[in-house]
Amino acid sequence: MGTRRKYIDIPDHARRDFIKWTIGLGAALGLRPWKVFEVNESVVGPAVAQQASCSSVNRFVGNIMGNGGLAWMTQLWPFVEQATTGGASYYMTNKATDQVVADGDHPFKLGPDAPTFGGRKMTGYLCGTNETHTNKPTTSSTVAAGVGMFAAVSALQTTAPTLVPSIGIGALPYGNAAGAPMIASVANPQGMVDLFNSASSTAGGALVNSGDAALFEAYYKANLGLRAAAGRATMTSGLITGKVAANLLGKNLASQLRPTAADLSRYGITAGTPSKVANIANTLITTVKAFKLNLTNSVLLPGMNDDPHGAFGDMPTLQSTVKALGQIWESFMNDLMAEPDSLCAGAKLGDNTVIAWVGDTLKDPFTPSGWPDGTPKNSNAMWVFGASQLRAGWFGQMKGDGTVETFDPTTGANVAGGSSAAMAGPAGAAVLYAVAKGDMRRVQDFYRGPAIDGLVVPKQM
């Protein structure tokens, strides 16, 4: 009988850094992640390699729509009565279709130009309060007192290795959460491309913890294995350090991240596209490329910020804007589904991406003239693509008679009346659940409210 291979034992707390460092170095050497996993397995065994081969968290995109821009989402995904009531603030009354309802789901309307996401379902939550005329809305994305949903998402994602954990386009709300990394803020979509030509050179920091002998030994042996796997004798010994590796990585990223003419055409962007729409497309195109290269886990982008009071006074422009937004998000998901997820065998990027849309106000769903900023009972809402982790449909409703329904997060049932503000915690917790791939224990690191069993799909054991 052969001698059983002896693997280096790495403590649980150190595995995250080991995985991050070896994947970063492997990328610099031009290796696909599967080759890195093979080397990892030969050094530290299949358990750690398996942990690296399929991330325990989903990626995340947050579209933060200030200054009334969230109102555009009601045209893609309207409230039920908004879509069917004549004279409501909806661009195609009675033309929206019903999303398929399964056990535990609620009714939900899909506008004629809404993205289909390949048949995967959407969720809406009545949550937060009306925050008219701010570009930094927070009430619908606050999980608990002092805990911001976006920061908590990034904290959850620290179990997955990336060079820049979270990126924000512009001055957007991020919030606080224990363990959350600092967000890397850039001015515009081009800044996101530029970020990896500079910031990536310092990503990873010091690559050796001299106080952890096992980690040092494993990292050293993995470096040797990765260099051998790369088969590049001309590589200098300096590549062993993460600083040089990340620097080499950064030099090659701009061309890989920048949107091409073909990309823009696929998203429907032309020279005549308003910048408020084109900027969303450019950011999402680069986001797909960054996800593909495993450079970041989370991207926050602004949306519209255009305060569209007069939208219903110019129906052709309103219709073209809604159509453009629908095409952009559909193309984004199509691009994600066209790319294998290098960190989860057999999956596509779109299978492991959660998206949320929040904002300051969605405007009055039932008064198109001047499209007033006020909302029934001063309520707000959040739309979520939950990567099959959440019950679908509207949880809570804004109704044509000026009343609202909230929801019981434990049962999922809609409830007449109640406070939209009180729903923010459970709704945010549901987003965290989707990002954590159903790991409620990790959600409870940030959320202490009522059970959210009625909002989520139970994790398959």
> Domain with 263 in it: what CATH number?
3.40.720
Domains identified in the chain, total number:
2
Secondary structure of the chain: what % helix, strand, coil (to 5)? 40, 15, 45
Residue 122 maps to a domain: yes
Tokens of residue 288, six digits? 């797909």
Residues 305 and 319 in one domain: yes
Residues 224 and 255 in one domain: no
Residue 450 maps to a domain: no
Residues 171 and 293 in one domain: yes
Q: What is the pTM of this model?
A: 0.82
Beta bridge partners of 298: 60, 166
Residues 212 and 196 in one domain: no
Residues 167 and 68 in one domain: yes
Residue 26 maps to a domain: yes
**Spatial separation of the C-alpha atoms in residues 302 and 69, rounded to whole Å:** 9
Residue 3 maps to a domain: no
Residues 151 and 18 in one domain: no
Complete DSSP assignment for 92-111: STT--EEPP--TT----EE-
Residue 304 maps to a domain: yes
> How many CB atoms are closer than 10 A to CB 413?
12
Residues 187 and 295 in one domain: yes
What pLDDT sits at residue 195? 86
Final residue of a domain: which of 241, 266, 292?
241
Residues 105 and 227 in one domain: no
> How many CB atoms are closer than 10 A to CB 204?
20
**Spatial separation of the C-alpha atoms in residues 201 and 437, rounded to whole Å:** 31
Residue 454 maps to a domain: no
**Spatial separation of the C-alpha atoms in residues 332 and 394, rounded to whole Å:** 23
Residues 22 and 81 in one domain: no
Residues 104 and 149 in one domain: yes
What pLDDT sits at residue 81? 98
Q: What sign does the dihedral 69-75-78-84 (CA atoms) show?
A: positive
Q: How far is CA 27 from CA 21, 63, 124, 249, 274, in A?
A: 10, 29, 38, 7, 37
Collapsed DSSP state (helix, strand, coil) of residue 41: helix
Residues 49 and 122 in one domain: no
Instruction: Enumerate residues 6+ apart whose C-beta is below 8 A from 262.
Output: none
Residues 18 and 88 in one domain: no
pLDDT tens over the chain, length 461 residues: 455 566 666 665 565 566 655 665 665 555 655 566 666 666 656 555 555 568 899 999 999 999 999 999 999 999 999 999 999 999 999 999 999 999 999 999 999 999 999 999 999 999 999 999 999 999 999 999 999 999 999 999 999 878 899 999 999 999 999 999 999 999 999 999 988 874 433 444 332 333 344 444 454 455 555 545 555 544 433 333 343 334 434 445 788 999 999 999 999 999 999 999 999 999 999 999 999 999 999 999 999 999 999 999 999 999 999 999 999 999 999 999 999 998 888 999 999 999 999 999 999 999 999 999 999 999 999 999 999 999 999 999 999 999 999 999 999 999 999 999 999 999 999 999 999 999 999 999 999 999 999 999 998 76
Instruction: Determine the distance from the C-alpha atom of residue 25 to the mean position of all C-alpha atoms in its chain, rounded to a whole number.
Output: 25
Residue 210 domain boundaries: 12-53+205-241
Instruction: Give the residue from 63, 56, 138 showing the smallest Cα distance to 384.
Output: 63
